[in-house]
């Protein structure tokens, strides 16, 4: 009787464990499916599959059912890109005219050439290269390190001959960036001494420009990461925070247009992806958080 009792008890425990594991697996699959569905129903889905949501503006009419291939490839990516496995050829940083050329006195930090994740965003949004030009096309035999156009036919109102938007569309930013939010600029003007950020967090009063909020810091796998906390999950970097990016090794310019120092150390810079999350359309225009009451602007700017 004792043996039978033990066997039944063990069977119940094993059954409960298996049920729990199944529940976790199901939850994981649902979460994964939700993430994939989220990308599929955004304007960044350029494939023929799933792009039927209200936010979809165009699809190729034939040939490609892959969602990720227009931006990412598992093999043969552009290694000059600081984003994962980028499947497009990046333009030269000198292609662009940047905000600092206006000579505004409000720029107080070092300014780097256009680069980092912003250069990847501009590989579509500057409107100089068709969105179906990629390094490694779907299927076998489509690799071209110089980039080549996939042969699909493009339709819809969101593109013109494969180029994003139209010449007057705000989504086609162009190569003149003077009328856009500064990118490649050091957050908060940098440290009062003009040196690099090295450790953190850095209080608002410790920044060169007092009109910016505190800068958060953590070490991730031995590398510095910087962000401005949106307050969604306080003290922990998450996708709703304003993400800042490290720029090193680039020759910068000062706010007055004079040559600046070569960037060294951990530098927290504002880039396109500081405010936009390309994989989520939870907020309009892929914003990282709601801008109701200018909340996104005020997350960084202390006004």
Which DSSP string corresponds to 132-152? TEEEE-SSSS-EEEEEEE--P
Instruction: Give the integer Cα–Cα distance in Å for 151 and 35.
Output: 28
**Which two structure tokens, joined as six digits, stand for 263?**
């960037």
pTM of structure:
0.82
**pLDDT tens, residue order, the chain (303 aa):** 434 333 444 444 434 443 443 333 333 333 334 444 567 778 888 887 755 544 444 555 566 788 899 999 999 999 989 899 999 999 998 899 988 888 787 788 788 899 999 999 999 999 999 888 999 998 888 999 999 988 777 776 778 888 888 888 899 999 999 999 999 998 998 887 767 787 888 888 888 888 999 999 988 888 889 999 987 666 688 889 999 998 888 788 876 777 877 887 778 899 999 999 999 888 999 999 999 999 999 999 998
Contact predicate 145/76, CB 8 Å: yes
- As given in the structure block, the two tokens for residue 23 are 């529940």
Identify the DSSP state of 112.
Answer: P
Q: 62: how many CB neighbours lie within 10 A of its CB?
A: 9
125 contact partners, CB below 8 Å, separation of at least 6: 164, 171, 172, 173
pLDDT at 50: 58
Q: What is the pLDDT of residue 227?
A: 94
């Amino acid at each position: 009787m004792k043996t039978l009792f033990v066997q039944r008890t063990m069977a119940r425990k094993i059954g409960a464990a298996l049920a729990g594991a199944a529940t976790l697996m199901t939850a994981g699959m649902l979460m994964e499916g939700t993430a994939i569905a989220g990308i599929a129903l955004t304007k960044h889905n350029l494939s023929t599959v799933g792009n039927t949501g209200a936010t979809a503006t165009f699809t190729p009419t034939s040939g490609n059912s892959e969602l990720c291939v227009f931006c990412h490839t598992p093999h043969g990516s552009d290694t000059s890109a600081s984003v994962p496995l980028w499947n497009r050829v990046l333009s030269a940083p000198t292609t662009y005219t940047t905000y600092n050329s206006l000579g505004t006195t409000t720029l107080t930090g070092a300014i780097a050439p256009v680069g980092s994740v912003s250069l990847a965003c501009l590989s579509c949004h500057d409107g100089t290269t068709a969105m179906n030009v990629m390094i490694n096309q779907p299927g076998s035999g489509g690799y071209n390190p110089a980039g080549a156009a996939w042969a699909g036919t493009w339709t819809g109102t969101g593109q013109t001959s494969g180029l994003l938007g139209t010449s007057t569309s705000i989504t086609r930013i162009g190569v003149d960036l003077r009328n856009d939010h500064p990118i490649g600029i050091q957050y908060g003007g940098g440290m009062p001494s003009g040196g690099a950020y090295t450790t953190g967090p850095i209080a608002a009063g410790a920044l060169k420009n007092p009109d910016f909020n505190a800068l958060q810091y953590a070490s991730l796998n031995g590398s510095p990461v910087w962000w401005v906390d949106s307050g969604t999950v306080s003290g922990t970097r998450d996708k709703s925070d304003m993400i800042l990016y490290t720029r090193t090794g680039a020759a910068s310019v000062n706010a007055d247009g004079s040559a600046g120092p070569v960037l060294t150390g951990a530098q927290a810079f504002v880039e396109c992806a500081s405010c936009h999350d390309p994989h989520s359309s939870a907020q309009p225009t892929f914003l990282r958080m709601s801008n109701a009451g200018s909340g996104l602007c005020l997350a960084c700017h202390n006004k």
